[in-house]
Structure 1
Amino acid sequence: MSTKAAEKTILLKDTGADFWGRAQAWGSRFDYCMIFNGNEIPYPMGAFPKMIMAGNKRGVEFSQGTAFTSLKSDRDLNKTWLCGYFGYDLKNEIERLQSMHDDFTKFPDMCFFEPEHILIFEDSTVRLISDTSAETLLQNISSTALNNPPNKSGTARLIRSVKRETYLKNVEHIREHILNGDMYEMNYCIDFGLSDVNLNPFELYQSLLRQSPTPFSCFGRFKDHYLICASPERFLRKNGDVLLSQPIKGTARRKEDPEADSQVRQELYNSEKERAENMMIVDLVRNDLSKSAITGSVKVPELFGIYSFRHLHQMISSVTADLRPDTHIADVIMNAFPMGSMTGAPKVKVMELIEQYESAKRGIYSGAAGFFTPEGDFDLNVVIRSLAYNSQMNRLSFSVGSAITYDSNPEQEYEECLLKARAILDVLSECGIQMPDLTK
């Protein structure tokens, strides 16, 4: 069982110039690290805290098919901080499902570790939690250089697994499934891959946040595997006895003109199609949370909220529930995993059809990343708008998707995917990576 590390709170004015920037650069050089950043974006019920977790005291060990039981045992034994991710294909542990496609970047299905050093930034202070003295930590961080080399990829070219024509045909097939009563809604994703590329993942993360600051962004290093994440979506949070999930369904491109942008926002709010998509997932999430909740406690404090990010407006709903006292936190996550907004409804049938129509294993994409506290609370995002990078294989991938309903227009759904990919494509273009012709 891990021992409790020493804590000390420091005034930020006493830490030197750009301490947050230097601390991120310092943390990113450990073999295991996670950086969380809500980017000071106002978000219903709060975004990710500003936090750095670096170094690996110990990891949660698991074998095939035991991720959630291993997590449960760890949480029972160790009342410590823990950070990491759940990959989408853990669905196969929860339901009788399989993932037969190739995993391009080969992330493990789950990776969580107890950090050696934790920095929690709160207003004008930073709280240090570490066995290393505060003075030594501050000295090491303050001496960390900020000048990361720019990313240049040479002649690398981004490859799509699904071309536009195939995507449009698949959307029509999915609509036929809906018409036949197989399902109501499916989140259909397309993936992009890049081979033989040597990049600086931390600099890529910084570039992505400059393009697309989001409330649930994070940078994760798990030895040779890197998560570069600009997620706008929360999967699940436990705060005391209250559970919170905030599915996103509904997207509209922002306009430069303020009046036109305001009109787009209003049109999104009034869209019957987007409301129907959102409502289906809200109902699914309510059902998922009810498995862990006190009877009658599941509520929807906000339905169809419209929130604006740099490139787009999103429709976000919030679902809360009071945790049943006999429910383990590992079961809470398992009961709701994976996030309904990344599957569709009904969840099991849709996940079967996702395997049929998508052409790559999702891996870490549409899983969840976040942290657990010693008190038994946790906060997890949805891994979207994210890059996965394997530095040993020199492979990088990302995926984007949209919700397909019977009312979906295949062309518009394809355009929504490109809109969601815009920030990542811009960042990769800056690195000199050649882009495919996405109009074909």
Structure 2
Amino acid sequence: MAKPLPSLPWRHPLDAFHSLRDTPLALLLLGDGENGRWSAIFVHPRSRELAAGAGDALARARTWLEGLRPGAPAPEGAPFHPGIAGILGYDAGCPGSGPPSALGLYDRILAFDHEARAVHLIEAQNAAPDGREALLALLDAPRPPPPLPGAGGVEDVEPREAFGGKVEAVRARIACGEFYQANISRRFEGRLGDGDHPFDLFRRLARSSPAAFAAYLRLPGFAIVSNSPERLVRVRNTPEGRLALTSPIKGTAPRGHTPEADALNARGLLASEKDRAENLMIVDLMRNDLSRACRPGSVRTPRLFELKTLPNVHHLVSHVEGVLEPERTAIDLLEACFPAGSITGAPKLRAMDAIRQIEGSPRGADYGSIFRAGTDGSLDSSVLIRTATCHERPGGWSVAFRVGCGITSDSDPEAETRETEAKALRLVQAIAGTCP
């Protein structure tokens, strides 16, 4: 078996990526969704695809993966492998919905080990001969200037009270038996400050509000700045088979202004019957989604209602796992689970119909997914919450994002409205340059 390539000199991925911030299909994953040990740069794909919807993109991903052969083994513990990476938009081909689904075939990547302070070049066996030196040159480029402080702003696109009305509309449809839960969102729109850049926004968020699935992706005319804490689905190889995992987040409480108030809010969330019921509905939905690609009887829920504390909110997160059927691929699993139940509702299709009617505009990249699938059969993917879509305009960048919450029969319109504002806080601060 070939030996892994030796490690390269350390360079922080934010510094290494800076010169790529406007390179089409350049992707930075800052953290690996686990303990933040690993980051990765994907750039200069051998092939690229802009697709009308997630289904078209995933069909292309299946074809591409079949033609890429693994190279030398990845460093021990590294979760990244050459393969497919990209974005799945929530909407399929909706005019005006923003950036399309897009993916690239990357036959080499740079993996950054923050713990060992080492960088590794990981290549496919049949990687294209050109591009290697350009990737390595990122480690020697001059250190970029610090990010601009930010002086932009965003506003809710509709009166605050209107969101409360939407909550009531959802509750009325729940009372009629149409569905049990639907995730309704508010849209914020505005502009970045003069001279500001989406990658500066990403760097400010990385400093003030680190997230497990932080990602920056450059697309034609757009940049995606994701500060997501949520996994959609992961596949990793184990002695027992290919293990699939999804970790839905449902249930939110704000952080307190003092340690005592913060602890009280956390305990209140853990004890909340409403939030636990909301979480359990989505766990049941995700169990069903995983069962479409996993061995019968293998799907289980090892952990329920864990407390996840972020800089601005507390969340409840649960974990559902199963073992993939031998004939099913990681892409099959992603297709079975997309879009995430936590940002749609239960039953999923009925909730999605209601969302389209009540929200009244396409979601675009919001609530889609950034994903990667490797030559070893592995996969990881995020849910695009806490994610800003930046649109390149004459003279600067516009910026927009959505924040939402799961509405059930017990929802209080004012409490749900405050929850969306707590979720939006760090993005609002980072755009304005008022991060703590």
**TM-score class normalised by the smaller sequence:** 0.7 to 0.9
1:189 Cα deviation after fit: 0.5
1:437 equivalent in structure 2: none
> How many residues are treated as equivalent by the alignment?
406
In structure 1, C-alpha distance between the alignment counterparts of 2:214 and 2:246, rounded to whole Å:
17
Q: Tell whether 2:16 aligns with 1:23.
A: yes
In structure 1, C-alpha distance between the alignment counterparts of 2:30 and 2:267, rounded to whole Å:
29
Q: Structure 1: where are the runs of 5+ without partners?
A: 1-5, 93-98, 433-440
3-state SS of 1:428 partner = helix
Find 1:165's aligned residue among 161, 164, 171. 161
Q: Against the structure 1 CA distance between its residues 326 and 138, is the aligned structure 2 distance closer, same or farther, given a 3 Å change threshold?
A: closer
Matches within 5 A, 1:85-124: 85-90=87-92, 102-103=96-97, 106-108=98-100, 110-115=101-106, 117-122=108-113, 123-124=115-116
Q: Against the structure 1 CA distance between its residues 345 and 253, is the aligned structure 2 distance closer, same or farther, given a 3 Å change threshold?
A: same
Q: Against the structure 1 CA distance between its residues 196 and 232, is the aligned structure 2 distance closer, same or farther, given a 3 Å change threshold?
A: closer
Q: Structure 2: where are the runs of 5+ without partners?
A: 70-81, 124-128
In structure 2, C-alpha distance between the alignment counterparts of 1:366 and 1:354, rounded to whole Å:
12
1:128 Cα deviation after fit: 1.2
In structure 1, C-alpha distance between the alignment counterparts of 2:164 and 2:374, rounded to whole Å:
44
3-state SS of 2:43 partner = strand
Matches within 5 A, 1:186-201: 186-194=182-190, 199-201=196-198
Superposition RMSD in Å: 2.6
2:83 equivalent in structure 1: 81
In structure 2, C-alpha distance between the alignment counterparts of 1:61 and 1:316, rounded to whole Å:
33
What is the letter of the counterpart of residue 120 of structure 1? A
Find 2:142's aligned residue among 141, 144, 157. 144
3-state SS of 1:243 partner = strand
Matches within 5 A, 1:287-298: 287-298=288-299
In structure 1, C-alpha distance between the alignment counterparts of 2:131 and 2:420, rounded to whole Å:
47
Q: Tell whether 2:69 aligns with 1:69.
A: no
1:354 Cα deviation after fit: 0.3
1:317 Cα deviation after fit: 0.2
Contact 1:27 1:53 in 2 (8 A): no
Q: State the Cα deviation string for residues 20-59 of structure 1 (Å, max 9, x = none).
A: 34213234353321111238x8x5xx56831111223211
TM-score (norm 2): 0.86
Q: State the Cα deviation string for residues 277-300 of structure 1 (Å, max 9, x = none).
A: 000000000000000110000011
Q: Tell whether 2:416 aligns with 1:420.
A: no
Matches within 5 A, 1:199-210: 199-210=196-207
In structure 2, C-alpha distance between the alignment counterparts of 1:139 and 1:63, rounded to whole Å:
34
In structure 2, C-alpha distance between the alignment counterparts of 1:29 and 1:10, rounded to whole Å:
27
Contact 2:153 2:192 in 1 (8 A): no
1:75 Cα deviation after fit: 2.4
1:60 Cα deviation after fit: 3.5
Q: Tell whether 2:376 aligns with 1:375.
A: yes
Matches within 5 A, 1:37-436: 37-38=30-31, 43=34, 49-60=38-49, 62=51, 66-79=56-69, 80-90=82-92, 102-103=96-97, 106-108=98-100, 110-115=101-106, 117-122=108-113, 123-124=115-116, 125-129=118-122, 131=129, 137-148=135-146, 150=148, 158-194=154-190, 199-240=196-237, 241-392=242-393, 394-430=397-433
- Which segment is superposed worse, 51-60 or 170-179? 51-60
3-state SS of 1:55 partner = coil
2:78 equivalent in structure 1: none
TM-score (norm 1): 0.85
Q: Against the structure 1 CA distance between its residues 396 and 340, is the aligned structure 2 distance closer, same or farther, given a 3 Å change threshold?
A: same
1:435 equivalent in structure 2: none
1:33 equivalent in structure 2: 26
